[in-house]
Copies of this chain bind each other. A is one copy, B any other.
Amino acid sequence: MSTTRWLDESEQRVWRAYLESTQRLFDRLERELDDYSDLPLPEYEILVRLSEAPGSELRMSEIAAMLVHSRSRLTHTVTRMEARGLVTRRACPSDRRGVLCAITDVGQAALVEASPVHVTGVREHVFDQLDDEEVAVLGRVMTKLGAHLREAPTPAVRRAAS
């Protein structure tokens, strides 16, 4: 019912800066990563999570949840990765619906090669550009947004315009 609360000019500047910079940033990181290594960013992120996991393996749905990917997307990506020998899959013993995905030695090697490229990019393009206060507030902001989005899942009905 209530009328739309539009963005004022300054809010609009903030929002568009967010859109544009984020777009540029991910573009850049993606390009750097597969120019100087041969791992697309999404595969890189999967390998990072696996390498940090106890036993170097995770359930498919855990990975999907961490990276905020759909299960379907993850299956497709992991299928490609398995074909390249970066990961393996095996049935989960405790839950027979589940699948455990593990990083292989080849995957580890690819990760070791790629991570300096990626981390250097993140440092140069993000942290080197900001002072400590800005980093702190950025962290707080993103943490808040994440918490909100996690707990307020898709509303069943949204009263749009009218």
Q: Closest residue to A161 on the B side, CB-wise?
A: B116
Does the CB pair A120–B4 fall under 8 Å?
A: yes
Picked from B6, B127, B142, the residue with its CB within 8 Å of the CB of A119 is: B6
Does the CB pair B5–A160 fall under 8 Å?
A: no
For this chain, the copies found in one complex come to: 2
Does the CB pair B158–A36 fall under 8 Å?
A: yes
Label chain A's interface by main secondary structure. helix
Interface residues of A in 106-146 (CB under 8 A from B): 112-113, 115-117, 119-120, 122-123, 125-127, 129-130, 133-135, 137-146
**With an 8 A cutoff between CB atoms, is A72 at the interface?**
no
Interface residues of A in 37-76 (CB under 8 A from B): 37, 67-68
Report which residue of A28, A116, A123, A154 has the largest number of chain B beta carbons within 10 angstroms of its beta carbon.
Answer: A116
Q: Closest residue to A133 on the B side, CB-wise?
A: B137
Report if A116-B160 is in contact (Cβ < 8 Å); known contacts: A13-B139, A134-B140.
Answer: yes
Q: List 30 A-B contacts (CB under 8 A).
A: A4-B116, A5-B119, A6-B119, A7-B123, A11-B135, A14-B138, A15-B122, A17-B142, A17-B146, A20-B146, A21-B149, A24-B146, A24-B150, A28-B149, A28-B154, A32-B154, A35-B158, A36-B158, A36-B160, A117-B160, A117-B161, A125-B145, A125-B149, A126-B145, A129-B144, A129-B145, A130-B144, A130-B145, A133-B137, A134-B140
**Closest 4 interchain pairs by CB?**
A116-B161, A17-B142, A14-B139, A21-B146
